[in-house]
Structure formats: C-alpha cells, structure tokens
Structure 1
Amino acid sequence: MRLGLICLVWLVSCASALAGPWPREKGSFFTSASVESPEDGDTRELYYSAYAEYGMTDWLTLGFDGGTDYYTNGEGYAFARVPIPVELGPHKFAVLGGVGARMDESTLMERIYVLGASWGMGFESPLGPGWATLDGTLRHRRTSDSRLAKLDATLGLNRESGQLWFAQLRYSNDTLAEEPIWEVAPSIAWPLWGAAKLETSASFGLQGSDQIKLKLGLWLEF
C-alpha cells in the first residue's frame, strides 16, 4: 500500500507520456509545455506541445494533450481518464476517451476521436524506487479517415536528489506516413522550485526515421 501511494505521487507529477494509469488527486492540477528541436537547430522544424491534467474526482481525471509545428500543423484533444477497478497486486490499469481537432496544410480542420489504455506499476530497485508504464492510444481522424496508433513504454527511477530518470521506447504508426516509427528517448527531469521541474530529453530514431531530436520542457503542479 505504501509503495502504491508513493508511485501515485511520482506519476501524477510527470508529463503526458508518463501519466500512466494513476488518477490525479481530486482538486490538483498539472501542466507542462515543451519544445522539441532537431539536432541541427532549424527553427522551422521545431515542435511545440502542451499538456494538462485536473483531478475532477478521486477517480476521474480530465485533461488536454496537443501540439503544433512551426507551420501550425498539429492536433489536440480533450480527454477523460478513469481507472479500471481490478485488483492485481501492484498492477494498475486505466482507460481514456477524448475528442479534438487536427489541422494541416491539406485539411483545414477535421475532428479526431481518441481511445486509449494504460498499465503501470511501482517497484523497488538498488538505485531507488521506480515505476514502469505502458500507454497506448488510437486516434481516428474523421475527414481524412486516417488513423494514428501510438504505444509508449516507460521505465523510470525517482532519485534522492529529486530528479526523475526515465527512458521511453516509442512506437507510432500513422496511416498518412510512409512507415511506422520506432524511437528511444532517455530523459531527466530536474527539480526547480516547489513542484516545478525542468525536463531535458533526447530521442533517437531506430526505424522509420534516423532523426535525433532534443527536447526541453517545464512541468508545473498546483
């Protein structure tokens, strides 16, 4: 029970990709903003993203997840996430549903629908307490009848210094793209003041892309 409560505190302090199945505490709010750049620093290739969560009740979490590039091509959606009441030891599960919009150069605006599921658990390790999550979403774009499937596997550690060390293996399959993309992203979230953290990350394309991207983000919690 103690470990589960500790993991709840860690996970609700993480960004969208790290949200996992843990519900946000009632009345608490979390938000993050980040910018991602290719290694050559070309500002035309920057990608901006924003994420927010609010604990509406002890079991209902409401939020927003979205992003856009330099040319205002992007998409975003509002979502609701609820835990699945299954007792399987340290294993936790949740599902989410969302609706939003997508805009690009060829389609002025189209509605998107999102379904998702999450698994997560906390654990102890020689390097300190840690967590593991698996988050999957499927986005359906109504006008273009296209789909984006994403799956993120995360393994992280909470350090005594207050830093969060984590690594992600990411898979995305967009029917508008030529092929699926696999990438790996090691990251560190550094404590700033209060519950604020600075996220530094690099992602490396493994398949479908050979890009190296750098990311800087700010996390705030109230």
Structure 2
Amino acid sequence: MRSGSLIVFLIWIVWATSADAGAWMREKGTSFTSVSFTSTWFRDTTNTSYLEYGWRDDLTIGADIGYATSRQGTQSGYGTIFIRRPLGKNNGPNKWAYELGVGAAWVDFIVLPYLKTGVSWGRGFTLRDTHGWASVDASVSWELTTSHHLTKIDTTVGLNFTDVTAGMLQLYLAHLDRETYASIAPSIVIKPRNAKYRLQIGADSQLGNPEYTAIKIGLWREF
C-alpha cells in the first residue's frame, strides 16, 4: 500500500501541472481560471481545475485540484492551495516569485498530505516582431507521512503567432527516489476574437514511456 501511495503521489504532483503560472502576479481583484481534460489511447483520463486570484498586487492566492481514472479503473485525486509573492521589486524584464502551498493526494482510502515550496522566474521577449514569454518553475514537495520528497523543474516557452493563436512548448522534469522522470507537452492556444476565454489543444508525452502519451484540451478564462 505504501509503495502504491507513493506512485500516486508521483503521478499527481509531477504530471498534474497548472496552465502557465510562472512568476507573474495577478493584479488586485482579477482572476484566472482553467479547466483541462486529458486522455491516453488506453483511456487513462485526468480532469484538472486551476484558479488564481489577486488578493493584492503583491499577493496571489490559488487552488489546484485534479481527479484521475486509470485504465484499470483506479480513481485518485489531489488538491493544493497556495500563495505566491514576488521576490524583490521586479521592475525589470525578469520576474521572480516564491510560492508556498499545502495539499493532499489520494487513491482509494490512502491520503498523502504534503507541503510545497517553490521559486519561479519569467520574462517576456520579442523574436522578429513576435512577442513571447519564457518561465521556469522549480519546486520541492514534501510528503508528510514518509521521508520522501519530490523535486520538479517545469519550463515553458510560448510565442504569440497572431492576435488569435499562440504556441507553447513545456518540459517537465522530476526527481524522486533516485529516479528522474520527464514529460514534453506542445500545445496551441486559440483566443477567438472578442472572447474572454482561450482554448488550449495539445499533447503530453512522458519521455521513455510513450504509451502514456495523452491528448489535452483546456479552457482558460481571465476576469
């Protein structure tokens, strides 16, 4: 049971990732939400919901919640609440922030509480008159019932092709129990004209484990 619980902890904290949090803060009184669905050929499915709210200009609060069903019918989930604050004044192009969170992952009757600490960097850039952004999120999640901890580095590079479409390439790296795991996730983000939402369509493939390649559909909204 303990070995199985650690696998669930790994699956959820490694592969369930937010839309594109980065180091940017939400302006006071504004929110960002996203919902996404993924499915592999073998019908491993996940559903995730993500929320950020600008409590103050220098304080963003949020929640990250997910639910999964494996091809064997096993059901599991996770939930994290967090705060994000800037590191320094962040007046230049480089943005820095730190994040603190608490949550739990579960499968059947096993519940695994954890603490999460993280630091993020991000900046915008221009490539031949096309605007883009890059971010790196590094975190450590501390599982509270064992001595295990999980280290993650998530990298995102995005480019706005037009006013309607953007492309993203994300690379997720994780280390747990002397094992390193990697996943690559390309996607297209579409914002219909005069709409307040964006549609994400992409894939997520675990390197070295192609049978877990998943199709991803997400919906983002700011208000």
Q: Deviations over 1:54-103 (max 9, x none)?
A: 00001100001132211331222100000111558411100000111121
Is 1:99 the counterpart of 2:102 in the alignment? yes
Q: Any unmatched runs of 5+ in structure 1?
A: 1-14
User: Residue 131 of structure 2 aligns to which amino acid in structure 1?
Assistant: P
Distance 2:166 2:130 in 1: 11
Distance 2:198 2:19 in 1: 15
**1:120/1:97 CA distance change after superposition, 3 Å:** same
Q: Deviations over 1:23-54 (max 9, x none)?
A: 0011011111111111x1x33x1011111000
Query: Counterparts in 2 of 1:59-208, with a 5 A limit?
Result: 59-70=58-69, 71-86=74-89, 89-105=92-108, 108-126=110-128, 128-175=130-177, 179-192=179-192, 194-207=195-208
Q: Deviations over 1:85-123 (max 9, x none)?
A: 155841110000011112124x62232100011001111
Query: Counterparts in 2 of 1:3-42, with a 5 A limit?
Result: 16-38=18-40, 40=41, 42=42
Distance 1:118 1:82 in 2: 10
- Secondary structure at the aligned position of 1:56 is classed as strand
User: Residue 83 of structure 1 aligns to which amino acid in structure 2?
Assistant: P
Q: Any unmatched runs of 5+ in structure 2?
A: 1-16
Distance 1:118 1:24 in 2: 14
TM-score (norm 2): 0.82
**Matched pairs, number:** 201
User: Residue 201 of structure 1 aligns to which amino acid in structure 2?
Assistant: G
- Secondary structure at the aligned position of 2:75 is classed as coil
**1:66/1:28 CA distance change after superposition, 3 Å:** same
Distance 2:200 2:19 in 1: 12
8 Å CA contact 1:17, 1:152 repeated in 2? no
8 Å CA contact 2:137, 2:153 repeated in 1? yes
8 Å CA contact 1:31, 1:50 repeated in 2? yes
8 Å CA contact 1:155, 1:167 repeated in 2? yes
- Secondary structure at the aligned position of 2:82 is classed as strand
Distance 2:158 2:76 in 1: 31
User: Residue 188 of structure 2 aligns to which amino acid in structure 1?
Assistant: I
TM-score (norm 1): 0.83
Match of 2:57 in 1: 58
Aligned CA RMSD, in angstroms, stands at 2.0
Q: Give the share of equivalent positions with the same residue, in percent.
A: 35
Distance 2:91 2:129 in 1: 25
Distance 1:157 1:144 in 2: 41
